[in-house]
Chain A
Amino acid sequence: MKSVTLAVQAALLAATSLAGAAVAQDTNLDLQFAGALEFTDDGTLFVGDNYQGAIYAFDMSDAVAPAQVAPVNIGDIDVKIADVLGVPKSALAINDMAVHPISAEILVSVTRIGNFESAPAVVSINQGGAISILDLASFASQKQMLDHFPDQETTFRPRGLGQMPPLVRDEAKGNIKLASLAIMDMEFHGGELFVSGVAFDNFLSTLRRISYPFDGTQEAANVEMYHISHDQYETRAPIRAMSIHEIDGKPQLVAAYTCSPIVLIDLEEIVDGAKISARTLMDYGNGQPLDMVSYTLNGEETLFLTSNSRSPHVIPVASLNGAKAYMPEDFPRGGKSDLSPMMPVGDTGKAVMFDGMSMHIAPLGENLFVSLTRDMYTGSLNMDSNFNGFPNRLHNLVAEFDFPQYWADK
């Protein structure tokens, strides 16, 4: 999830070597929720705690790289993680996944539910496929409380669909706290941690930048964007997934929103108290983004964007240079769903095949993606590692090649 220009990498190295020395041991490790995960290139792990409104940093830089990064494939990964945590899989919620940049350990943040309590854990899956609970207390750590953390009481307002009344599961949304959106995604760039989510008492979409090692300073700016398919300016729904890249000659944040705009934000605009107007470059229409990972495909810096309801999108970063920023006057008034002849707008990428649904995806070494993939037919959740040019398994696909006669004729 790192940008790749050489200048930026150099700055990153300088900043992070300093970081390793200055991390202070936090004697009171009171993590209450293990949510969003992010690694620095030298192995510092950030963990977002949405219950406390805090971000933890763990110095995991003391790691050994494998001779070669191997694919890790584990069927029924949720059952196996639950086994290690001592619960059935129904008592496990998976929150995020990240890969250690040196050891290639795969970390999964989870919530373990049981005996009327929930407990956080970060589970590690090593290159040999062994699953264990990461002993977070064994690492030097730092904790940064977030300013303007929203209240812990307000919940979503349930809605049905059009004229249809809400179902039980629609109503259940009314039990979910808006604060669960307070830390959505984190990106480390140039010695700073960028965090998207909602903040302030009125739950505004917010981008924070926090220098690391944490020194108590943090900046928070509100983000507004024109949402083409909804035909409105939106100020609340937060950025779901993001990545930072050199675009039009300066570092910019590429951000994905629900239903499904892609916007650009100049990092220079993210200053404390600012009201940022993001530039809307694309809008696919409906769907909710999950992860945006950055990788190299055919020598080109590329983004792989997953969604809970659309095919993954592969976007060449270079295609965002000079892209048009869309405004309300570019369209007739009214909402535009997928089916509108105007949609998608500004799309410079490609929707690609993905068998099943990726709940979380992350680069594993230079050539692989590791994904927690929900199998369409069995409902099982599997950890699959595949070549990033075609990140699929084929067991559910029946094609000409599956006929023995095809090979006999060869």
Chain B
Amino acid sequence: MRLLKESLFALACWTVFLASPALATGGQLNLPITTSDRVSFVLGERSHDLSPQAVLQVYVGASSLCCDDKTPMSGTYGSEDGVVTFEPSFEFLEGQPYTVKTLGREMTEFVIAPDHTPNPPEILAIYPSGDMIPENTLRFYVQFSAPMAPHLSEKFIALVGADGTPDHEAFMSFKQELWNADRTRLTLLMDPGRIKRGVAQNVRLGPALIQTESYSLMVKEGWPSARGPMNASGFEKTFTATLPLRTRPTVDAWDVALPGRGTLDPISVTFDRSFDRFQTLRSISVKLPDGTPVEGEAMLEKSETVWRFVPDQAWDAAALELVVDSRLEDVAGNNFRETLDHTVGTDTPMPAHIVIPLLLDEQ
């Protein structure tokens, strides 16, 4: 995109040559191509004494309405070697007509065209990202590259068995789809009635996923983006169902690898199972013993079985705490307090946060 714009600039008709014979103050006006560009004017020979504001001013609106009784846009002027530049205090708006008044008389209108050639939306990933996932997996996430049009998931998404038969009752159907705030991530909730043993849907239809069998989560081509006519291409995630996960997770089963003090190496936690990706990214944090969070970046790897945290600044304190929200769920919806599929009254009392003390050695 950037290349395209630069080549346009090199070729283009955006340079306007002005000649005012009466004043003999011709010059060359360069108009902005993108919203963050400046306006510049190359002065003719005899107009170097003018103030920058007398050389050029930019006004909001069409040239036919300019510029009596109008206040010019605020911005910063520069003047060097016969070139006057104007950088607006705020970026120009796409689609808004502006008028440049040069040398106090010439009016030149310009519009920065809205960027109509964005990349079409893409499906970046479907989570869980592993190709072997428990048969009682509770949620799938579809991650798009751009905001998408809502209310189309049932039309475009299907869970298909190895024999090509779609299962139209695999996912919960809500009035409202489960999107994140900017509508780039859709949560698909497997019908818990199919997962929980002995409840009506489970008895009538059986589980949606059966261990050792293969499935495809298919997203058909053509899902429109929220902002325009661009459609996403298709996406297919193939996986095999494995043994169900029906135990509560416990941090005792985690393997924690610690960095040395003074380094920027990550803390690395290897889980015994795959956890829910987006819950994990907000449910585990590194804190000082007084509760101050350590700033840094958390990431998940290896099919959401490894959590790594790289600090913004080299590790300083020796004593740290890994704090885990006990409501964090594995991919099958089991949290540290209870399994998804449990008998009533068997919850295990558990504090809101599980704290794992960490002690870093000198490098």
A residues near B (Cβ < 8 Å) are 80, 82-88, 91, 112, 114-115, 119, 121, 131-133
The reply on B59 being an interface residue by CB < 8 A is yes
Q: Which residues of chain A have C-beta atoms less than 8 A from B83's C-beta? A: none
**Which residue of the partner chain, among B58, B60, B70, B72, contacts A87 with CB atoms under 8 Å?**
B60
The reply on B88 being an interface residue by CB < 8 A is yes
Q: Is the CB of B74 within 8 A of A85?
A: yes
Q: Can you offer 29 A-B residue contacts whose CB atoms are under 8 A? A: A82-B60, A83-B59, A83-B60, A83-B61, A83-B72, A83-B73, A85-B73, A85-B74, A85-B89, A86-B73, A86-B74, A86-B89, A86-B96, A86-B98, A87-B90, A87-B93, A88-B60, A88-B96, A114-B90, A114-B91, A114-B93, A114-B96, A115-B35, A115-B91, A115-B93, A115-B94, A119-B90, A131-B71, A132-B74
Q: Is the CB of B70 within 8 A of A83?
A: yes
Q: Is the CB of A86 within 8 A of B71?
A: no
Q: Is the CB of B71 within 8 A of A84?
A: yes
A248 to chain B, nearest CB (A): 44
The interface residues of chain A, by DSSP majority, are classed as mixed
Q: Is the CB of A86 within 8 A of B93?
A: yes
B89-131 interface mask toward A, CB cutoff 8 Å, 1 = contact, 0 = none? 1111110101000000000000000000000000000000000
Q: Is the CB of A85 within 8 A of B90?
A: yes
Q: Which residues of chain A have C-beta atoms less than 8 A from B35's C-beta? A: 115
- Once bound together, how far apart are the Cα atoms of A370 and B88, in whole Å? 29
B 35-66 contacts with A by CB, 8 A = 35, 58-61
Closest to B75 in A: A86
Q: Which residues of chain B have C-beta atoms less than 8 A from A83's C-beta? A: 59-61, 70-73
- Which of A80, A86, A88, A112 has the largest count of B CB atoms less than 10 A from its CB? A86
Q: Which residues of chain A have C-beta atoms less than 8 A from B73's C-beta? A: 83-86
- Once bound together, how far apart are the Cα atoms of A88 and B91, in whole Å? 13
- Once bound together, how far apart are the Cα atoms of A82 and B35, in whole Å? 17
B51 to chain A, nearest CB (A): 16
- Once bound together, how far apart are the Cα atoms of A334 and B219, in whole Å? 57
- Once bound together, how far apart are the Cα atoms of A10 and B73, in whole Å? 43
Q: Which residues of chain A have C-beta atoms less than 8 A from B70's C-beta? A: 80, 83
- Once bound together, how far apart are the Cα atoms of A114 and B98, in whole Å? 14
Ranked 7 nearest A-B pairs via Cβ: A86-B73, A114-B93, A133-B74, A83-B71, A84-B74, A83-B60, A80-B71
In the complex, besides A83-B71, A85-B73, A86-B93, 10 extra interface pairs with C-beta distance below 8 angstroms are A83-B70, A83-B72, A84-B73, A85-B90, A86-B60, A87-B90, A112-B90, A115-B91, A115-B93, A121-B90
Closest to A130 in B: B71
- Once bound together, how far apart are the Cα atoms of A85 and B73, in whole Å? 6
Q: Which residues of chain A have C-beta atoms less than 8 A from B58's C-beta? A: 86
Closest to A81 in B: B71
B248 to chain A, nearest CB (A): 29
- Once bound together, how far apart are the Cα atoms of A80 and B94, in whole Å? 20
A330 to chain B, nearest CB (A): 46
Q: Which residues of chain A have C-beta atoms less than 8 A from B61's C-beta? A: 83
B278 to chain A, nearest CB (A): 16
- Once bound together, how far apart are the Cα atoms of A88 and B72, in whole Å? 13
Q: Which residues of chain B have C-beta atoms less than 8 A from A88's C-beta? A: 60, 96
Q: Which residues of chain A have C-beta atoms less than 8 A from B90's C-beta? A: 85-87, 112, 114, 119, 121
- Which of B90, B91, B98 has the largest count of A CB atoms less than 10 A from its CB? B90
A341 to chain B, nearest CB (A): 47
A84 to chain B, nearest CB (A): 5
- Once bound together, how far apart are the Cα atoms of A87 and B70, in whole Å? 13
- Once bound together, how far apart are the Cα atoms of A114 and B35, in whole Å? 10
Q: Which residues of chain A have C-beta atoms less than 8 A from B71's C-beta? A: 80, 83-84, 131
- Once bound together, how far apart are the Cα atoms of A121 and B89, in whole Å? 10
Q: Is the CB of B72 within 8 A of A91?
A: no
- Once bound together, how far apart are the Cα atoms of A83 and B60, in whole Å? 5
B106 to chain A, nearest CB (A): 19
- Once bound together, how far apart are the Cα atoms of A121 and B91, in whole Å? 13
- Which of B61, B73, B94 has the largest count of A CB atoms less than 10 A from its CB? B73
- Once bound together, how far apart are the Cα atoms of A132 and B90, in whole Å? 13
Q: Which residues of chain B have C-beta atoms less than 8 A from A114's C-beta? A: 90-91, 93, 96
- Once bound together, how far apart are the Cα atoms of A169 and B23, in whole Å? 55
Q: Which residues of chain A have C-beta atoms less than 8 A from B93's C-beta? A: 86-87, 91, 114-115
- Once bound together, how far apart are the Cα atoms of A91 and B94, in whole Å? 12
A167 to chain B, nearest CB (A): 21
Q: Which residues of chain B have C-beta atoms less than 8 A from A112's C-beta? A: 90
Closest to A132 in B: B74
Closest to A153 in B: B181
- Once bound together, how far apart are the Cα atoms of A131 and B220, in whole Å? 54
- Once bound together, how far apart are the Cα atoms of A85 and B60, in whole Å? 9
- Once bound together, how far apart are the Cα atoms of A265 and B89, in whole Å? 43
A154 to chain B, nearest CB (A): 13
- Once bound together, how far apart are the Cα atoms of A84 and B88, in whole Å? 9
Closest to A119 in B: B90
B241 to chain A, nearest CB (A): 35
- Once bound together, how far apart are the Cα atoms of A362 and B35, in whole Å? 36
- Once bound together, how far apart are the Cα atoms of A84 and B58, in whole Å? 9
Q: Which residues of chain A have C-beta atoms less than 8 A from B91's C-beta? A: 86, 114-115
